[in-house]
């Protein structure tokens, strides 16, 4: 299963009872392992967790610290990029990852995370 297919499959488990906007993500570790996630909503919306963060946190909680790329899938014609919070965490834990965006049928675009997040806040600013 390729990374976009893994993200599509993860999307099927999304808990999106309020927005009905289901998103799936898959992140590939440096060693080739793939971790998936889906968005999980709740009534307050503010506590919703995005698919990208779920996938990343699953990998981190298993001790993985190096990543190659992440795929994000939604049922949209246009690419659905990671939100700002996801971009921050992906940058902090993955660096300049390849970001593959897709929908239910095809890949819609590819980017370097640095193109989507050109001025990140990271540890170099905490010195």
- What is the C-alpha separation between 104 and 82, in angstroms, rounded? 17
Tens-place pLDDT, residues 9-57? 999 999 999 999 999 999 999 999 999 999 999 999 899 999 999 999 9
Q: What is the pTM of this model?
A: 0.96
Cα 75 to chain center, whole Å?
Answer: 15
Q: What pLDDT is attached to residue 4?
A: 98
Has 52 been annotated as catalytic? Answer: yes
What's the CA gap between 80 and 114, in Å, rounded? Answer: 16
Query: What residue ranges define each of the domains in the chain, with the CATH number in brackets?
Result: 3-126 (3.40.140.10)
Pick from 18, 6, 27, 87: nearest CA to 47: 18
Cα distance between residue 12 and residue 23, in whole Å: 8
Q: Which of 12, 41, 52, 78 is catalytic?
A: 52
């Amino acid at each position: 299963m390729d990374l976009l297919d893994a993200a599509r499959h993860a999307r099927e488990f999304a808990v999106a009872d309020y927005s009905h906007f289901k998103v799936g993500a898959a992140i590939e570790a440096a060693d080739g392992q793939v971790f998936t996630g889906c968005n999980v909503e709740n009534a307050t919306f503010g506590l919703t967790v995005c698919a990208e963060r779920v996938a990343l946190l699953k990998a981190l909680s298993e001790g993985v610290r190096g990543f190659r790329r992440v795929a994000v899938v939604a049922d949209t014609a246009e690419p659905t990029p990671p939100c700002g919070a996801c971009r921050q965490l992906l940058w902090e834990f993955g660096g300049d990852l390849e970001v593959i965006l897709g929908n239910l049928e095809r890949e819609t675009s590819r980017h370097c995370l640095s193109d989507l997040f050109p001025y990140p806040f990271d540890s170099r600013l905490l010195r």
